[in-house]
Amino acid sequence: MEVKEMKKSRKTLLRTEISWVQPGKILLKGYNLIEMIGRKSFGDMIYLLFSGDLPKGNEGKMIEAILVSSCEHGLATPSTSAARSVASGGVPLQAAVAAGIIGLGDSHGGAIEQCAKMLQENIGEAREKGFEKTAERVIKDYQARKRRIHGYGHGIHAPEDPRKVKLYEYAREIKVTGDCIRFSEAVELKLKELTGKPLPINVDGAIGAVISDLGIHWTFGKGFFLISRAAGLTAHVQEEHAKEPPMRRVYTWDDVDYQGVPERKIP
Amino acid sequence: MEVKEMKKSRKTLLRTEISWVQPGKILLKGYNLIEMIGRKSFGDMIYLLFSGDLPKGNEGKMIEAILVSSCEHGLATPSTSAARSVASGGVPLQAAVAAGIIGLGDSHGGAIEQCAKMLQENIGEAREKGFEKTAERVIKDYQARKRRIHGYGHGIHAPEDPRKVKLYEYAREIKVTGDCIRFSEAVELKLKELTGKPLPINVDGAIGAVISDLGIHWTFGKGFFLISRAAGLTAHVQEEHAKEPPMRRVYTWDDVDYQGVPERKIP
Amino acid sequence: MEVKEMKKSRKTLLRTEISWVQPGKILLKGYNLIEMIGRKSFGDMIYLLFSGDLPKGNEGKMIEAILVSSCEHGLATPSTSAARSVASGGVPLQAAVAAGIIGLGDSHGGAIEQCAKMLQENIGEAREKGFEKTAERVIKDYQARKRRIHGYGHGIHAPEDPRKVKLYEYAREIKVTGDCIRFSEAVELKLKELTGKPLPINVDGAIGAVISDLGIHWTFGKGFFLISRAAGLTAHVQEEHAKEPPMRRVYTWDDVDYQGVPERKIP
Amino acid sequence: MEVKEMKKSRKTLLRTEISWVQPGKILLKGYNLIEMIGRKSFGDMIYLLFSGDLPKGNEGKMIEAILVSSCEHGLATPSTSAARSVASGGVPLQAAVAAGIIGLGDSHGGAIEQCAKMLQENIGEAREKGFEKTAERVIKDYQARKRRIHGYGHGIHAPEDPRKVKLYEYAREIKVTGDCIRFSEAVELKLKELTGKPLPINVDGAIGAVISDLGIHWTFGKGFFLISRAAGLTAHVQEEHAKEPPMRRVYTWDDVDYQGVPERKIP
């Protein structure tokens, strides 16, 4: 009945299940956002926005841990150097941060989404037919299609990404683990067995597994990374604006190797 | 000594005070980020990134409250409708969210920065010469330059923005208030007195005042809003991808009022 | 020898075949850009950048016609409404235009790339085994994989997109047509035969075919659209800045149909 | 009457003077875009979009020359390195190009707008009171406000930016020059006289002067640069995608000089 009253829309084109605003009230998945200020954490809100309800347990704390793990990774990452370059062109903070966020693509944090997808699509089979057996089937399937399993290996933090170690430890400590983390570990073991080389779960894979156990759909995967990294990018753009000259070049034409056609006459 | 060892750089062009990455270690303002996973909140990390040190008190909690207050404000805000339009073009989540973030400009959250600037630039004088007197001087100065004082009035949430009320209450409750909140209130009173109409502090102004009392430089102002709103934008872009057809138009050419030159012959 | 002299690079990481800058000289694929000002058209430059050499015939003119065809398509397209929304947040022109450009994704102009890819990947077979036969094989292959052939049908400009008609006519008039345009027409005919409904080549498909005959790799496909549309987007953002109030909403919360959970108590 | 018929709008919020779309027709400032394909150049269309009418003379040719002059300036510019960094994160072409375009801010091409503004705001006075006298008044006014006159000096192409030389030569050759170019030269002379050092008009300033003589409002200034540079950025993003590995770093953590707080214990 209350829902009906709320639906005053003339435009079915403008529909959403996320939120609704009235003077003095901002409904978020049914809860008044205003009442949650000071009572809920930002992690709780993200859980609410992405899963549909407020945490029953420590889900919000787990999301906070994820946000901490990814908020900054140095000046030399593609997104950070892009944001700083853009900032140096003389643009407002939010636009330079946005340029960095655009860069958080399939190869730069995208493994969160891909790993979560792999886990969520196969967890049913794993529960039914066994984790090891399903891990083997999945890996061989990926190999047959010549596709990489995202979220494993290739970090600079060898032998294991310490952020992954911490995230899994913490998930166990606060009891938010489930079958997806277990399955991610079964895949890790089987990958080593089948390929002969260690391909440990990296931080992207770990986040993918953790959010899967939190019950969040893989299509939200990149969201965790971009919200988190927005903090580090803001700090870098502010530093660029505050400390560096405009239009600066971190390398010059002399550093560039022109490998194209040598000088020629215009016809 | 340890610092010296760290400085291996050959390029003074690539310098930063924010972070440094080594295998197994991510230094953030001197603290190892990895050790903070599960121990510190995301609010603590933002405080660290923007102020230079970890909270001594409840600063991280206050930042969480700010992030909660601004994470979503409905489908009809310019940034959200932009992000959903872009999403409907068939682009990855992070790029569509970035398009929305670009829109968080001077007129859309920018008052945080402007209000914090006003407070931080005049708080010294207020302490010295009195809050009321300084508020009057500042307002008259803005009026003389025909400039608006940002962060006051104009909300849809009349008579007061309830997010502002909650933020100030919570700041007092957890004891992170200081002179800037007090000065923001002196300006509010004086504005009403001088203009004859109520111009209550809105949510942007409130955030500007709160972060000023947390000791965060006004140039970080937009950062709070963009990090926070990134959560709501992610939810909207995911919903657009999941529930709506591609390339959809929320209005059509028939809704558009063409006010230009009528049809004419090409010369 | 001359090339060798040019290679002063110490960093193989910064390599390019596109251009090289020295004081007084900007080499573009070997030609001095400065000498081309006033002598070459922008279409010629795009041809140079994307194909590797200056036009031998009318290729530059054909590119100009493509740029004309797509430079504007009204206020109601997703990219334009996004750019104007963003502009209304109080952001610089280039950032608002960029937000619109982000939206030129797989469903909004992306068919140029997809159609060009389809043509370029199958034109060899078409030449060898016949256009009709290959068209049939390709369509059935797409149907078997339940994938759409991009660049055909679905326009608002029925029965044929007049921009497509003009582009093909002009390509024939200035003699830059080749097998890809012919093959695109064979696919059109066969599509009608196999599906029973008319799926005429649309403007995206036409551009995809024309650039394929110009010898430009399909990976440049979206470039034509984004360069062209940047002109219309610039005009819209400028108009938004000049004529409309900041932070405006083209629809309000009353227009939004909230279909989510009704109001509930925070636990 | 015809205009009246066109106005079917119910929403005054969706109004524009730019264009209007109907099946089979795209009105652009009154002209049917479809009829202009193959008959008008892209430069003509930009002139139409930005000035309101089709060229009476060589205005379109002049715009083409501007677009040629700025379409590419090497790998080491902030916008290009940003676009390539973003591309390396695994994002679609249009989104990576957009990241580069965001960077075309006040310090990176923004002088076009600023120089055009200065010329357009003072040309009336110059015509009335003399070019030299007005130039002196303007410069002294900027100096008094400690502001730089944009569009002069600071190029890498010393003593004169050859693109500026070509643009002015061409403008004179095709007879599209006017008082703004003359006034820009008066300012150049006076700047040298008053400051004692040569501050020649650079390419940004030259474009600003040329478009002013074409009758285009300075608020469109950045548009010329972004449309033009979109071509070079597209080529760079495509090259990054085609030739380089994903997530590549053009410098590493070893190249970074961490100047922050040395390692410390987490409290």
Query: What pLDDT, in 10s, does the model give residues D164-202?
Result: 999 999 999 999 999 999 999 999 999 999 999 999 999
Give the mean pLDDT of A14-23: 92
B148-176 per-position pLDDT tens digit: 999 999 767 778 899 999 999 999 999 99
Q: Is-contact A16 C259, C-beta < 8 A?
A: yes
Q: Which chain C residue has its CA at the smallest distance from B79's CA? A: C86
Q: Is the pLDDT of residue C19 over 70?
A: yes
Q: Which chain C residue has its CA at the smallest distance from A261's CA? A: C30
Provide the pairing of β-strand C15-16 with A257-258. parallel
Same domain, C238 and C116: yes
Crossing angle of the two packed helices D42-51 and C42-51, in degrees rounded to 10: 120
Q: Is-contact A156 D249, C-beta < 8 A?
A: no
Give the mean pLDDT of C16-23: 93
Q: Is the pLDDT of residue C251 over 60?
A: yes
Select from A27, A30, A92 the Cβ nearest to the Cβ of C91.
Answer: A92
D124 occurs within a structural domain: yes
C36-62 per-position pLDDT tens digit: 999 999 999 999 999 999 999 999 999
Contact criterion met (CB < 8 Å) for A219 and B238? yes
Contact criterion met (CB < 8 Å) for C102 and B91? yes
- How many contacts (CB atoms, under 8 Å) link A and B? 272
Chains in touch with D (≥3 Cβ pairs < 8 A): A, B, C
Contact criterion met (CB < 8 Å) for D45 and C231? yes
Percent of residues, chain C, with pLDDT higher than 90: 86
Which positions in chain B touch C114 (Cβ < 8 Å)? none
Contact criterion met (CB < 8 Å) for A89 and D81? no
C6 CB-side CA count, 13 A: 22
Q: Where are the beta strands (DSSP E) in chain D?
A: 15-16, 19-22, 25-28, 31-32, 257-258
Tell me the C-alpha distance between C171 and D37, whole Å: 11
Give the mean pLDDT of D191-214: 96
Q: Is-contact B203 B162, C-beta < 8 A?
A: no
A53 Cβ under 8 Å from any chain B Cβ: no
C77: containing domain: 57-249
Length of chain B: 267
* Confidence tier at D105 by pLDDT (50, 70, 90): very high
Q: Is-contact A172 A179, C-beta < 8 A?
A: no
Distance in Å, alpha carbon of B185 to nearest chain A alpha carbon: 20
The residue of D14, D26, D227 whose CB has the most chain C CBs within 10 angstroms, and thus the best one to mutate to test that interface, is D227
Q: Residue D27's pLDDT is what?
A: 95
Tell me the C-alpha distance between B236 and B216, whole Å: 30
Chains in touch with C (≥3 Cβ pairs < 8 A): A, B, D
SS3 label, residue D1: coil
Question: Which domain-ending residue is among A218, A244, A259?
Answer: A218
Tell me the C-alpha distance between D30 and D45, whole Å: 12
Which positions in chain B touch C100 (Cβ < 8 Å)? 86
Contact criterion met (CB < 8 Å) for C41 and D41? yes
Give the mean pLDDT of B108-135: 97
Tell me the C-alpha distance between D209 and D118, whole Å: 10
Tell me the C-alpha distance between A184 and A196, whole Å: 18
Task: Share the mean pLDDT of chain C.
Answer: 93
D76 Cβ under 8 Å from any chain A Cβ: yes
Q: Residue C40's pLDDT is what?
A: 98
Contact criterion met (CB < 8 Å) for A166 and B37? yes
Q: Is the pLDDT of residue D116 over 60?
A: yes
Total Cβ atoms within 10 A of residue B199: 18
Which positions in chain A touch C52 (Cβ < 8 Å)? 261
Tell me the C-alpha distance between A157 and A198, whole Å: 13
Tell me the C-alpha distance between B88 and B84, whole Å: 6
Question: What are the residues facing C263 on neighbouring strands?
Answer: none
Contact criterion met (CB < 8 Å) for B11 and D255? yes
Contact criterion met (CB < 8 Å) for A72 and B95? no
Q: Is the pLDDT of residue D267 over 50?
A: yes
CATH number at residue B167: 1.10.230.10
Which stretches of chain C are DSSP H helices? 2-6, 33-36, 42-51, 59-70, 78-88, 93-102, 111-129, 131-144, 162-173, 179-195, 203-213, 221-243
Total Cβ atoms within 10 A of residue C25: 14
C37 Cβ under 8 Å from any chain A Cβ: no
Distance in Å, alpha carbon of A219 to nearest chain C alpha carbon: 18
Is the peptide bond preceding residue B159 cis, with omega within 30 degrees of 0? Answer: yes
Tell me the C-alpha distance between C227 and C239, whole Å: 19
Instruction: Characterize D13-30 residue by residue with b for buried, 16 or more Cβ atoms within 10 angstroms of its Cβ, and e for exposed.
Output: bbbbbbbbbeeeebbbbb
- Main-chain phi, psi angles of D20, to 5 degrees: -155, 135
Contact criterion met (CB < 8 Å) for A105 and D91? yes
Total Cβ atoms within 10 A of residue C187: 30
Contact criterion met (CB < 8 Å) for D264 and B95? no
Question: What are the residues facing B152 on neighbouring strands?
Answer: B201
Contact criterion met (CB < 8 Å) for C81 and B248? no
- How many contacts (CB atoms, under 8 Å) link B and C? 142
Give the mean pLDDT of C210-228: 98
DSSP per-residue string spanning C58-117 = SHHHHHHHHHHHHS---TTSHHHHHHHHHHHTT--HHHHHHHHHHT--TTTTTHHHHHHH
Q: Residue A9's pLDDT is what?
A: 37
Residue ranges of B 82-121 with Cβ closer than 8 A to chain D: 91-92, 94-95, 98, 102
Contact criterion met (CB < 8 Å) for D37 and C167? yes
Tell me the C-alpha distance between D89 and A78, whole Å: 7
Q: Residue C210's pLDDT is what?
A: 98
Contact criterion met (CB < 8 Å) for C74 and B253? yes
Q: Residue C62's pLDDT is what?
A: 98
Tell me the C-alpha distance between B237 and D23, whole Å: 30
Q: Is the pLDDT of residue A151 over 50?
A: yes
Select from C7, C251, C264 the Cβ nearest to the Cβ of A258.
Answer: C7
Tell me the C-alpha distance between A174 and A178, whole Å: 12
Same domain, C146 and C38: no
C151-191 per-position pLDDT tens digit: 999 767 778 899 999 999 999 999 999 999 999 999 999 99
Between B8 and D79, residue with greater pLDDT: D79
Same domain, C203 and C163: yes
Contact criterion met (CB < 8 Å) for C261 and A7? no
Same domain, D46 and D135: no
Same domain, C75 and C142: yes
Tell me the C-alpha distance between B240 and A13, whole Å: 11
Query: Domain count of chain B?
Result: 2
Q: Residue B254's pLDDT is what?
A: 79
Q: Which chain A residue has its CA at the smallest distance from C29's CA? A: A261
Between D44 and B4, residue with greater pLDDT: D44
B60-86 per-position pLDDT tens digit: 999 999 999 999 999 989 999 999 999
Which positions in chain D touch C102 (Cβ < 8 Å)? 94-95, 98
Same domain, B120 and B224: yes
A97-122 per-position pLDDT tens digit: 999 999 999 999 999 999 999 999 99
Between D256 and A12, residue with greater pLDDT: D256
Q: Which chain A residue has its CA at the smallest distance from D246's CA? A: A107
B39 occurs within a structural domain: yes
Q: Is-contact C109 B116, C-beta < 8 A?
A: no
Give the mean pLDDT of D202-226: 98
Q: How far is CA C2 from CA A260, C30, C31, C125, in A?
A: 12, 11, 14, 41
C30 occurs within a structural domain: yes
Same domain, B42 and B156: no
Q: Residue B111's pLDDT is what?
A: 96
Q: Is the pLDDT of residue A230 over 60?
A: yes
D11-55 per-position pLDDT tens digit: 568 899 999 998 889 999 999 999 999 999 999 999 999 999 999
A77 occurs within a structural domain: no
Question: Which domain-ending residue is among D181, D206, D221?
Answer: D221
Distance in Å, alpha carbon of B184 to nearest chain A alpha carbon: 20
A234 occurs within a structural domain: no
C70-104 per-position pLDDT tens digit: 999 999 899 999 999 999 999 999 999 999 999 99
Same domain, D217 and D227: no
A264 Cβ under 8 Å from any chain C Cβ: yes
Select from C97, C222, C239 the Cβ nearest to the Cβ of D18.
Answer: C239
Contact criterion met (CB < 8 Å) for D78 and A251? no
* Confidence tier at C12 by pLDDT (50, 70, 90): low
* Confidence tier at D2 by pLDDT (50, 70, 90): very low
Give the mean pLDDT of A58-78: 96
Q: Among positive and negative, which fits the CA dihedral D102, D59, C227, C20?
A: negative
D102 occurs within a structural domain: yes
SS3 label, residue A257: strand
Same domain, B40 and B103: no
* Confidence tier at A157 by pLDDT (50, 70, 90): confident
Contact criterion met (CB < 8 Å) for B81 and C77? no
Between A86 and B160, residue with greater pLDDT: A86
Distance in Å, alpha carbon of C161 to nearest chain A alpha carbon: 26
Q: Is-contact C202 C161, C-beta < 8 A?
A: yes
A22 occurs within a structural domain: yes
Q: Residue A4's pLDDT is what?
A: 39
Q: Is the pLDDT of residue B48 over 60?
A: yes
Q: Residue C221's pLDDT is what?
A: 98
Select from D107, D248, D252 the Cβ nearest to the Cβ of A247.
Answer: D107
- Main-chain phi, psi angles of A159, to 5 degrees: -75, -25
Q: Is the pLDDT of residue B101 over 90?
A: yes
In terms of phi and psi (left: phi > 0; alpha: psi -120 to 50; beta: otherwise), the region of B26 is beta
Contact criterion met (CB < 8 Å) for C26 and D50? no
Contact criterion met (CB < 8 Å) for B82 and C78? no
B228-257 per-position pLDDT tens digit: 999 999 999 999 999 999 988 888 777 889
Q: Residue B5's pLDDT is what?
A: 37
Same domain, B65 and B36: no
Tell me the C-alpha distance between B173 and B99, whole Å: 37
Q: Residue B155's pLDDT is what?
A: 67
Lowest-pLDDT range of A97-101, B118-122, B206-210, C6-10 = C6-10
Q: Which of C64, A72, B108, C193 is nearest to D68 (CA)?
A: C64
Give the mean pLDDT of B41-68: 98
Distance in Å, alpha carbon of C55 to nearest chain B alpha carbon: 28
Q: Is-contact A72 B28, C-beta < 8 A?
A: yes
C250 Cβ under 8 Å from any chain A Cβ: no
Q: Residue A158's pLDDT is what?
A: 74
Chains in touch with B (≥3 Cβ pairs < 8 A): A, C, D
Q: Residue A215's pLDDT is what?
A: 98
Question: At A111, which amino acid appears?
Answer: A
Select from B23, B65, B227 the Cβ nearest to the Cβ of A234.
Answer: B227
D47 occurs within a structural domain: yes
C157 Cβ under 8 Å from any chain B Cβ: no
Tell me the C-alpha distance between A137 and C18, whole Å: 45
Residue ranges of C 196-235 with Cβ closer than 8 A to chain A: none
Q: Is the pLDDT of residue C126 over 50?
A: yes
Same domain, C35 and C110: no
Select from C18, C99, C158 the Cβ nearest to the Cβ of D236.
Answer: C18
Select from B73, B156, B238 the Cβ nearest to the Cβ of A23.
Answer: B156
Same domain, D144 and D239: no
The residue of B93, B247, B261 whose CB has the most chain C CBs within 10 angstroms, and thus the best one to mutate to test that interface, is B247
Q: Is the pLDDT of residue D10 over 50?
A: no
SS3 label, residue D255: helix
Q: Is-contact A51 A214, C-beta < 8 A?
A: yes
B236 Cβ under 8 Å from any chain A Cβ: yes
